[in-house]
Structure 1
């Protein structure tokens, strides 16, 4: 870790659509996450 910089891990339910709708920018967000499960 770089001194003065903190790391925060978020837990979010993203990457799924609702029926035929695609809302938000899930693909763009998921591609930037260091840990994806």
Structure 2
């Protein structure tokens, strides 16, 4: 969850207290990381 160096990703993952929000954000960043 916190292995992203981008501050935006880091904040987005911490801000949403809902698991759904985190799960929705991680795949999005993961895809970005692969690209």
Judge same fold: TM > 0.5, yes or no.
no
**Considering only CA atoms, is the larger Rg found in Structure 1 or Structure 2?**
1
TM-score (norm 1): 0.32
Indicate the structure with greater helix content. Answer: 2
TM-score (norm 2): 0.33
Higher relative CO (CA 8 A, sep ≥ 6), structure 1 or 2? 2
